A and B are shown apart, each in its own frame.
Chain A
Amino acid sequence: MATHTQNPAPRHTEEQGRPARRQKPVDAVPLWLKAVGVLVAIYLILPTLVVIPMSFSAGATFQFPPQEWSLRWYESFFTDERWLRALSNSLKVAVSVMVVATLVGTAAALGLSKSRGRWAEAVRSFLMLPLVAPGIVIAVVVYIAYLNWQMVGSFWGYLLIHTAMALPFVLVSVTASLSGFDANLLRAASSLGANPLRAFWRVQLPLILPGVLSGAVFAFVTSLDEVVVALFIRSPLFETLPVRMFNSVTIEIDPTVAAASSILVVLATLFILTPQLFRLVRRKK
């Protein structure tokens, strides 16, 4: 024991070149921190723990805990055309937003990582705006604009504003993965005969893929969950699942909303977990 603590081995030149050995052992998380973590997690998922059992209730009104179990609210959800259309609208918008926001956001992150100076910083801040602007402000402004452009209650209207709102998430996560990317690899690829497009495709993209994927997931979930702007720009012809749920709660008090919530929660959770699962499988390989 004593000899172990004697030499905190100063880094000398003979160490140079070898990949720096990580000497710091990973500190064990203290118990109190774990406890706090668990408490916060419980606090965050508590509503879900109420809603999901409630959706399996057999009662005609909201019941918790349910006295009898049934799938009637799921049946009601999957047989009611309005709910199904809302779900399909939500998925259509969310998937489209995911694709567009990921493409645009990744391109923006790549471009901005190569540019320096005030101009680039201004563009970056501008793209981040939807993250800091209050949802209600965005909603009112977009509503007025869409009224003029006759885009209220249209797929393209949802796509446009949800993409803008999802962009910051893609930008941030791709920028983070780019900061760990060694630009020398692109020079190496070039010296080995790869044109810039091929070098991006074969070298840079695979290495920043985790950042791109998690950006995509956040874009999808951002759109799927979004309710404030969606409420403003909805129309009876086109409404998304959160809007339908809001109406269902405020106007009809229909327990189907519990089933709908559960479906939404499961969808979002699956999507967030996908990259993690992906990483887990990869590590096992």
Chain B
Amino acid sequence: MSTATHTPQASSIQTEGTHISLHGVTKDYGLERPAVADVDLEIEGGEFVSFLGPSGSGKTTTLNMIAGLETVTRGTVSLDGVDVSHLPAYKRNLGMLFQNYALFPHMTVAQNVAYPLRERKVGRAEIKERVAAVLELVQLTGREAALPRQLSGGQQQRVALARSIVFNPRALLLDEPLGALDKNLRAALQLELRRIHREVGSTFVFVTHDQEEAMTLSDRIVLFREGGVEQVGTPEDLYQRPNTLFAARFLGDSNTFRVVPGADGVSYGDVSWAAVPDTVAPGVAGSQAAYVVVRPEHMELAQDGPVPTGAPSTRVRIQDVEFVGSFLRVVARSTDRDELITAKLSPGSATPEVGTEVDLWWRPESQRIVVP
């Protein structure tokens, strides 16, 4: 009858992202330390934020408290300024993606995706239209009648994704959704998540223990450690300007030297290294001990000449040299401290001999001085 044929479009499932804020959020199971302690966090609307940390660091528990699948012991969770701390999950209108997909095995793909709409008493015609639109978004058009067990892991997770965004949730919470997939599939789905985040425009909170995944996907990373937030920042912030030894070691490779902070620099054994103000993390000034962090790609080899004046350096014996295509990986052991040091040298540089003693140096502005 109607002449207007409706073409499903991604725009029909677009939302503005919700602002999520946590104040003093704590989860205490009565064990020796709380699972999550006093987390304060502001997540902007439409932001893609990753919760990164080792297992047991409280990132999933925090996500579950945002979702309402876990009660808060203390503190408040607010969505767009409204306190939802004591609202059950089914009233929060947040989408959630689980590591094991959690698809309903007795329902077809279409029924799974329609589930949240049926719970919301959406009309039959509209359900059909929105299911079609979202399946197109996750590129599963044509698989409506399949049962979850007939799909591959990647397809199943895409059905779960479709199901968790079809009802225009205020935000999407992702609990290690790619953890169970193999490497290639993971990379493909990461791209897809980025695309869907752009197209849907909703707030995404993504839990992962994979630092690379967190770096490539997120606008900002929240680094968790032992139930608390260690550092929050953009991936670049966290990589270039870690505030603690934990952050420096968790994101990317790093060489670390234990030093004693002084008035205008740090001392490493009986040598002093100058400290460029920008490179000193907060908290170092009053601290007894500190660490100098140098990324392997910032290490230079002093082979043809002396170490430039003012540049910090350490004497090492070369242990191993690998050609990795885009760079030379040099593994060395410092002669005085017996510490393992790695350097990534540009492929043009002369290959050092294994067993020789050389100086490795770096620019003071490329180091970072952090608290333990």
Please name all residues of chain A whose beta carbon is closer than 8 Å to the beta carbon of B104 when the two chains form the complex.
Answer: 185, 188-189, 203
Contact between chains at B89 and A190 (CB < 8 Å): yes
Q: Which of A98-106, A162-170, A193-201 contacts B (4 or more CB under 8 A)?
A: A193-201
Contact between chains at B153 and A195 (CB < 8 Å): no
| Complex partner residue of A192 from B100, B105, B106, B163, CB under 8 angstroms | B163
Please name all residues of chain B whose beta carbon is closer than 8 Å to the beta carbon of A16 when the two chains form the complex.
Answer: 180-182
How near does chain B come to A173, taking the closest CB pair, in angstroms?
18
A-B contact count (CB 8 A): 79
| Complex partner residue of A17 from B106, B149, B167, B182, CB under 8 angstroms | B182
The reply on A11 being an interface residue by CB < 8 A is: no
The reply on A18 being an interface residue by CB < 8 A is: yes
The reply on B115 being an interface residue by CB < 8 A is: yes
The reply on B90 being an interface residue by CB < 8 A is: yes
Assembly CA distance A19 to B185 (angstroms): 14
Q: What count of chain A residues pass the 8 Å CB interface test?
A: 25
Contact between chains at A18 and B116 (CB < 8 Å): no
Contact between chains at A193 and B102 (CB < 8 Å): no
Please name all residues of chain A whose beta carbon is closer than 8 Å to the beta carbon of B89 when the two chains form the complex.
Answer: 187, 190-191
The reply on A108 being an interface residue by CB < 8 A is: no
Contact between chains at B95 and A191 (CB < 8 Å): yes
Please name all residues of chain A whose beta carbon is closer than 8 Å to the beta carbon of B181 when the two chains form the complex.
Answer: 16-17
Assembly CA distance A185 to B167 (angstroms): 18
Please name all residues of chain A whose beta carbon is closer than 8 Å to the beta carbon of B167 when the two chains form the complex.
Answer: 192-193
Contact with A along B164-204 (1 / 0, CB 8 A): 10010000010000001111010000000000000000000
Contact between chains at B182 and A182 (CB < 8 Å): no
Contact between chains at B96 and A191 (CB < 8 Å): yes
Assembly CA distance A194 to B114 (angstroms): 13
Contact between chains at A17 and B98 (CB < 8 Å): no
Please name all residues of chain B whose beta carbon is closer than 8 Å to the beta carbon of A199 when the two chains form the complex.
Answer: 90
Please classify the interface of chain B as helix (H, G, I), strand (E, B), loop, or mixed, using the class held by over half of its residues. loop
A206-B90 CB under 8 A given contacts A192-B167, A193-B116: no
Contact between chains at B120 and A193 (CB < 8 Å): yes
Please name all residues of chain B whose beta carbon is closer than 8 Å to the beta carbon of A19 when the two chains form the complex.
Answer: 149, 153
Please name all residues of chain B whose beta carbon is closer than 8 Å to the beta carbon of A139 when the two chains form the complex.
Answer: none
The reply on B234 being an interface residue by CB < 8 A is: no
Contact with B along A223-251 (1 / 0, CB 8 A): 00000000000000000000000000000
The reply on A184 being an interface residue by CB < 8 A is: yes
Contact between chains at A14 and B163 (CB < 8 Å): no
How near does chain A come to B97, taking the closest CB pair, in angstroms?
9
| Complex partner residue of A191 from B67, B105, B106, B120, CB under 8 angstroms | B67
The reply on B119 being an interface residue by CB < 8 A is: yes
Query: Which residues of A in the span 166-184 have a Cβ within 8 Å of any Cβ on B?
Result: 182, 184
Assembly CA distance A18 to B183 (angstroms): 12
Assembly CA distance A192 to B152 (angstroms): 23
Please name all residues of chain B whose beta carbon is closer than 8 Å to the beta carbon of A151 when the two chains form the complex.
Answer: none
The reply on A265 being an interface residue by CB < 8 A is: no
The reply on A207 being an interface residue by CB < 8 A is: yes
The reply on B350 being an interface residue by CB < 8 A is: no
| Complex partner residue of B98 from A13, A18, A184, CB under 8 angstroms | A184
Assembly CA distance A199 to B95 (angstroms): 16
A198 nearest CB neighbor, chain B only: B119
Query: Which residues of B in the span 78-124 have a Cβ within 8 Å of any Cβ on A?
Result: 88-90, 93-96, 98, 100, 102-106, 115-116, 119-120
Contact between chains at B98 and A188 (CB < 8 Å): yes
Contact between chains at A192 and B69 (CB < 8 Å): no
A182-B102 CB under 8 A given contacts A191-B89, A192-B119, A193-B120: yes
B163 nearest CB neighbor, chain A only: A192
Please name all residues of chain A whose beta carbon is closer than 8 Å to the beta carbon of B152 when the two chains form the complex.
Answer: 18
B166 nearest CB neighbor, chain A only: A192
Name which of B104, B149, B163, B183 has the most chain A CB atoms within 10 A of its CB.
Answer: B104
Chain B residues with a Cβ under 8 A of chain A:
67-69, 88-90, 93-96, 98, 100, 102-106, 115-116, 119-120, 149, 152-153, 163-164, 167, 173, 180-183, 185
In addition to A17-B185, A192-B95, A193-B120, 16 A-B residue pairs with Cβ atoms within 8 Å of each other are A14-B182, A17-B180, A18-B152, A19-B153, A185-B104, A187-B96, A188-B96, A188-B104, A190-B89, A191-B94, A192-B116, A192-B163, A192-B167, A193-B90, A207-B105, A207-B106
Q: Sorted from nearest, which 4 A-B pairs have the closest CB atoms?
A: A188-B102, A191-B96, A192-B116, A193-B119
